[in-house]
Copies of this chain bind each other. A is one copy, B any other.
Amino acid sequence: MSTEQQRIDDAVAAAAAATTDAMNDSERYGVLYDHGLAWVNFPEGCGGLGVSTSLREYAAQQVAEAGLRTPPRGSNTIGFGMAAPTIVTYGTAEQKLILRDIYTLDTIFCQLFSEPGAGSDLAAVATRAVRNGDGFRVTGQKVWTSGAQNADMAILVARTDPSVPKHQGLSYFLLDMHAPGVEVRGLRQITGEAEFNEVFLTDVEVPEANLLGELGQGWKVANTTLNNERVAIGGGTPREGGMIGVVAGAWRANPEYRDPLLHDELVRLWVEVEVARMMGERLSQKLAAGQPGPEGSGAKLSFARNNHELTGLELQMTGVDGLRYDTYAMRRPSEYSMIGRIPGYRYLRAKGNSIEGGTSEIIRNIISERVLGLPGEHRVDKDVAFKDLPK
């Protein structure tokens, strides 16, 4: 056993001793945070022990074996997956205090990045943050914000200087979603529901203390966030995990769906998902062994394509049943699930898999440039002041 493992074991023992049956969830999670077991690879004092990232799984096992409850990531996806890693990297001591509230679920985060005119091209954000005394006044429109209706805080990218080229005039902020001037509206999707929101910001006051990273460094900070978003759909997925399990299960359970003409396509997709799983498994083993590979970028591509094809096939194989829908009512779920709905919903929702979190076109650019070393696209917007670009 390594020294680092020993430190984890000690922390787990101490946390277990400090936890009492009378504690509520927030208090329990707080104990874990205070003992450095929230994110063990984070520095001490930030919910971590400063140990190697590869020990995260080990720590999770020990915590679980000690019977200590951990917060469900899904309740604060943006907080855990994007805000926390960015704050720990760029935050001031004061800003880092919020890490505890993220972990205890007392502060739920959402993300204010994309705009109607800045989708794949995030650096084109037009939302303005104008100096206003000690702070900034923010005005603009954001879109594709999931969970905004339930969020306490947001990570925000806004333009602080339109007179310089677009990547240089951005800054990164923490924004109070309860502040005056923040308006959240559900954005209805093709499935009928509004999983995402539009967020309108009108003269929202943001104090200087909420600037994360330096003024004008927003692009660099945002990329830390995005790299954390696009982490590999890693190993550990069981065979037939995900959509293939749903479709193969329907085939098995319903002899009337077994159209022999669709059989080869179903098996082919089963193989596609399985080889993607095998690649994910190899990647995760390499990562665990400290040998990161380039495979991660590919996982999102095959995930999206396989989901497109599987849901299309499912709709086809279920015949008239596939043409029934459950509800197009505009609901506002805090997250989506492909399970428990009908094939038509899955078909429509899966279309978003190749768009959200980086379109498949952007992912292909990334693979070809960062993994394969091919030249970048011709850019006409790199050296021109943002205000002078055609919109």
Chain A residues engaging chain B, CB cutoff 8 angstroms: 261, 264, 378
Contacts and interface: CB of A to CB of B under 8 A. Distances in A.
Nearest to A265: B264
Chain copies in the assembled complex: 2
2 contacts: A261-B264, A378-B378
Nearest to A380: B378
Contacts of A261: 264
A263 to B, nearest CB: 10
Contacts of A264: 261
A229 B339 CA distance: 55
A110 to B, nearest CB: 37
A243 to B, nearest CB: 24
The 2 residue pairs across chains A and B that have the minimum distance between CB atoms: A378-B378, A261-B264
A391 B92 CA distance: 52
A193 B152 CA distance: 73
Contacts of A378: 378
Nearest to A260: B260
A264 B261 CA distance: 8
A368 B277 CA distance: 37
A378 B264 CA distance: 43
A264 B264 CA distance: 11
Nearest to A378: B378
Nearest to A379: B378
